[in-house]
């Protein structure tokens, strides 16, 4: 089968920037050295580019998990152009197709089932889906955003200006243009590219399928560290409208912290979260499925599978009861339907059902540990 034509501009950009980062930067470090100010500037620019992609391109525009003030949207738009990952409109269009048709080799623009190289960078090197490069039907909502359209119209000018302008200005101010171009320009850009690309490639290969196995997406805490929280990818693919990727307090998700922090400042609003009970049911369903598979060849399979199903069903019943009363309690507090909520019958039921759920969770966990 004949391969599509190479996109020579993309090939040149990726090859040239990588060669500078892999050869020129180490050579300069050995022969000349980089000072702390140059390293700090490169790190700051890397963070700015990365967070503009994760908080802006991804969670704001692609998935609309929250809304943002125009000033923050401009900051994201400039950072995205600085990251050199195409315009908001094009990036979001590709990403929505990816989610709608994930792992479908014929439609998913960076399907993981095409292999690591393809999903990481190969899909951008050839005209694999040239027929839809200018088809933005799935992002008509974004075409109503003047900042998105301004960036799309002036993307080339913005990306060239920022990728050369910022390193040049900093280099002239600091006194070493070559160091700045190499570190703030080339190395920062290559690291920004490949850490983002890891989400399309490694995050569909390496990690745990915590919430679903209907697609190849994985949860990986190490990748989350490299990608500003995007590594909890299995969660994201089943709960894509949640502004969080790392939902536990201990999970590394600086993009979530940025969005929430800006919420306190009035710069973000209407933050969307998936219902806790749906998240927990998805997690428990995967535990059930894995243990059913594990027990299928056990000598006492029938008896153990029956006990496993019984524990699971009992847990789901108590989970539903607890979250139903929790919703009632929250509604009562919000609408002030009860004068003294803390001493109400609803609160008493809430505490009782919470304890029942805890007891059943302990019973479930004890049984699962016995099967391990």
Cβ distance 347 to 333 under 8 Å? no
- Cα–Cα dist 238/216, whole Å: 11
pLDDT given for residue 255 in this prediction? 98
Give all strands (DSSP E) within the chain, no chain letters. 67-68, 268-269
Neighbours of 344 (CB within 10 A): 16
pLDDT digits (tens, 9 = 90+) for 352-370: 999 999 999 999 999 888 8
| Owner of token pair 């999903």 | 119
What is the pLDDT, as a whole number, of residue 60? 98
Q: What pLDDT score does 186 carry?
A: 98
pLDDT-flagged residues of the chain (< 50):
none
**In this predicted structure, what is the pLDDT of residue 33?**
96
**303: how many CB neighbours lie within 10 A of its CB?**
11
Residue in 215, 195, 228 with CA at minimum distance from that of residue 59: 228
pTM for this model (two decimals): 0.93
Q: How far apart are CA 308 and CA 203, in angstroms?
A: 31
Overall residue count recorded for the chain in this entry = 372
Residue 335 is predicted with a pLDDT of 67
Backbone angles phi, psi at 15, to 5 degrees: -70, -50
Residue 224, helix vs strand vs coil:
helix
Q: Each residue of 294-331: pLDDT tens digit?
A: 888 888 888 889 999 999 999 999 999 999 999 888 88
Cβ–Cβ contacts within 10 Å for residue 60, how many?
A: 24
CA 24 from centre of chain: 32
> Where do the domains of the chain lie?
8-269, 276-371
What's the confidence (pLDDT) of residue 329?
A: 84
d(CA 6, CA 237) in angstroms, rounded, equals: 30
**Tokens in use for 287?**
């535990």
Buried-state track 320-332, b at ≥16 Cβ within 10 A, e below 16 = ebbbebbeebeee
Helix (H, G, I), strand (E, B), or coil: what is residue 66?
coil
pLDDT of residue 338: 62
């Amino acid at each position: 089968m004949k391969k599509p034509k190479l996109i020579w501009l993309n090939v040149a950009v990726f090859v040239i920037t990588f060669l500078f980062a892999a050869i020129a930067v180490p050579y300069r470090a050995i022969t000349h050295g980089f000072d702390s100010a140059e390293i700090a500037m490169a790190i700051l620019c890397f963070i700015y580019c990365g967070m503009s992609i994760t908080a802006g391109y991804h969670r704001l525009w692609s998935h609309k998990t929250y809304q943002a003030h125009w000033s923050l949207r401009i900051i994201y738009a400039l950072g995205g152009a600085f990251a050199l990952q195409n315009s908001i409109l094009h990036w979001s269009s590709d990403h929505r197709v990816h989610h709608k048709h994930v792992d479908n080799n014929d439609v998913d623009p960076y399907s993981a089932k095409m292999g690591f190289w393809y999903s990481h960078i190969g899909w951008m090197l050839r005209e694999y889906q040239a027929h839809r490069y200018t088809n933005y039907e799935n992002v008509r909502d974004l075409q109503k955003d003047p900042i998105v359209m301004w960036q799309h119209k002036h993307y080339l000018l913005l990306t060239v200006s920022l990728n050369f302008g910022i390193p040049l200005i900093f280099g002239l101010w600091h006194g070493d243009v070559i160091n700045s171009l190499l570190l703030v320009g080339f190395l920062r850009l290559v690291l920004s590219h490949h850490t983002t690309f890891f989400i399309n490639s490694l995050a569909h290969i390496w990690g745990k399928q915590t919430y679903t196995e209907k697609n190849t997406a994985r949860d990986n805490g190490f990748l989350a560290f490299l990608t500003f929280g995007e590594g909890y990818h299995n969660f994201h693919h089943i709960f894509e409208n949640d502004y969080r990727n790392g939902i536990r307090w201990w999970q590394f998700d600086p993009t979530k912290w940025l969005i929430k922090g800006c919420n306190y400042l009035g710069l973000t609003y209407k933050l969307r979260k998936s219902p806790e009970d749906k998240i927990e049911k998805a997690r428990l369903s995967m535990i059930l499925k894995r243990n059913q598979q594990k027990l299928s060849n056990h000598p006492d399979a029938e008896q153990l599978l029956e006990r496993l199903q019984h524990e699971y069903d009992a847990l789901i019943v108590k989970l539903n009861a607890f979250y139903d009363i929790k919703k009632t309690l929250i509604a009562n507090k919000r609408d002030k339907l009860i004068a003294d909520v803390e001493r109400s019958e609803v609160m008493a039921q809430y505490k009782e059902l919470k304890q029942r759920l805890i007891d059943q969770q302990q019973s479930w966990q004890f049984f699962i540990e016995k099967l391990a």
